[in-house]
């Protein structure tokens, strides 16, 4: 037992620094602040979508960890996603349309990682005088990189609304 004591002391000294480096939990106040920041970023992104500003939309997406699923497709590069956004937001056959998100929920997963879910309506008068609306559900995984919230992964689905 006497010979094991220095070994246990050494083991304790090796483990102790890793315990001190563990991330501290996110407080409720910090969560509220993070959620507010992320919702503000989402509102800015939604404005760019309603303005059909492709460059403005793309500034919210990070290509390092990027993946996005929509319209039956999977975009695994930022270039593919930019092309899809461009096709949607510059195609005269699809314009004009607007997005109105009426329910937005964000969950802080880590201090720099948030899952945002949004439910809304896309309104359009594509090729007709009568407005048509469809429901959109969007899920975004956002990370804070250098103080800026960026979308690293997302999914959206659209379904017709039956009244």
The alpha carbon of residue 99 and the mean position of all alpha carbons in its chain are separated, in whole angstroms, by 16
Question: Has residue 47 got a pLDDT over 80?
Answer: yes
CB 98 within 8 A of CB 122: yes
What average pLDDT does the structure give for the chain?
86
CATH of 27-160, one of 1.20.1250.20, 1.10.1060.10, 3.40.50.300, 3.10.450.50: 3.10.450.50
CA distance 105 to 121: 16
The pLDDT score that the predictor gives to residue 18 is: 56
pTM of this structure: 0.81
Is the N-terminal amide bond of 110 cis, ω within 30° of 0?
Answer: no
Number of helical H runs and strand E runs in the chain:
4, 6
CA distance 138 to 128: 26
Mapped onto helix, strand or coil, the DSSP state of residue 96 is coil
Q: How many CB atoms lie within 10 A of CB 80?
A: 15
64 vs 96: which has the higher pLDDT = 96
Mapped onto helix, strand or coil, the DSSP state of residue 122 is strand
Confidence band for 125, pLDDT divided at 50, 70 and 90: confident
The token pair at 116 is 């945002």
CA distance 134 to 124: 9
Is the N-terminal amide bond of 96 cis, ω within 30° of 0?
Answer: yes
Average pLDDT over residues 92-117: 92
CA distance 18 to 13: 10
150 vs 163: which has the higher pLDDT = 150
The pLDDT score that the predictor gives to residue 116 is: 98
CA distance 30 to 34: 6
144: enclosing H helix or E strand: strand 132-145
pLDDT in tens, 6-42: 655 555 556 655 555 667 888 999 999 999 999 999 9
């Amino acid at each position: 037992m006497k010979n094991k004591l220095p070994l246990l002391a050494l083991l304790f000294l090796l483990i102790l620094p890793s315990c001190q480096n563990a991330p501290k939990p996110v407080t409720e106040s910090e969560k509220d602040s993070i959620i507010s920041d992320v919702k503000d970023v989402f509102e800015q992104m939604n404005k760019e979508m309603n303005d059909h500003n492709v460059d403005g939309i793309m500034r919210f997406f990070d290509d390092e960890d990027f993946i996005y699923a929509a319209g039956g497709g999977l975009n695994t590069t930022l270039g593919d996603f930019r092309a899809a956004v461009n096709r949607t937001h510059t195609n005269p056959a699809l314009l004009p349309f607007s997005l109105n998100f009426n329910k937005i929920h964000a969950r802080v997963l880590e201090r720099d990682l948030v899952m945002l879910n949004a439910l809304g309506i896309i309104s359009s008068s594509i090729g007709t005088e009568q407005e048509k609306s469809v429901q959109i559900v969007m899920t975004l995984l956002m990370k804070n990189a250098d103080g800026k919230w960026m979308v690293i992964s997302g999914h959206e689905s659209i379904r017709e609304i039956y009244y």
